[in-house]
Homo-oligomer: A and B are copies of this chain.
Amino acid sequence: MASNKYEEITKAAVMLFERKGYHATSVQDIADEVGLQKGSLYHYITSKEDLLMQLAHRSISEFNGQMEEILKNASLTNRERLHLAIENHLKYVTKNVQLTTVLLREAFSLGEDQHQVIQDLTDKYLNLWTQVIEQGIAAGEFRPVHARITALSILGSINWVYRWYKEGGKLTASDISKLYSDLFLDGIENR
């Protein structure tokens, strides 16, 4: 598999899925966009659904990998872990607005089995966040909040950024990250 061409195909697919919607985008549209015959495109991908699945799997795996690194780092407080988690997630969303739009909007179009795989990885990610908050409560860093709901609340909030973030807007990803960290960390901090 020529990986440069594959990357070009995934980029074209993300752009088309975002603009037209996953359902309305055909394999022919993707082939046209990268200047390949439809038959040749199938050297790189097995189906449109497979392409969406690869994109989703890659993203959520990256999120999980980053979060596992944060949890493993014994030199961090849980407050620092949560701050880093917010920062990493926001950086990803703001760097990949089109991809985030596609994944959050179109993942429901995956077949049941594939959707379940993504759902399980997403649940794992939520559990890692919940773990940081639970550890922070146990260590007396955070108030005894409902850890899972707090994790859902923060994740919902930072995922939502894809809907209003404009690259080159007044606020940089790092500004937003700072504002969100302050808001949430002040919200759960033990005093």
Residues of A participating in the B interface, judged by any CB pair closer than 8 Å: 21, 23-24, 105, 108-109, 143, 145-146, 149-150, 152-161, 163-164, 171, 176, 179-180, 182-184, 186-188
**Complex contact A157–B149 (CB within 8 A):** no
Could you say how many copies of this chain the assembly holds? Answer: 2
Taking A23-B24, A108-B21 as contacts, is the C-beta distance between A154 and B152 under 8 angstroms?
no
Kindly provide the distance from the CB of A100 to the nearest chain B CB, expressed in whole angstroms. 13
**Complex contact A176–B149 (CB within 8 A):** yes
A to B CB contacts below 8 Å, 11 in the list = A105-B105, A145-B182, A149-B179, A153-B160, A155-B160, A156-B159, A157-B157, A160-B160, A183-B184, A183-B188, A187-B187
Complex CA gap A154/B186 in Å reads 14
Most buried by B among A143, A152, A158, A179: A152
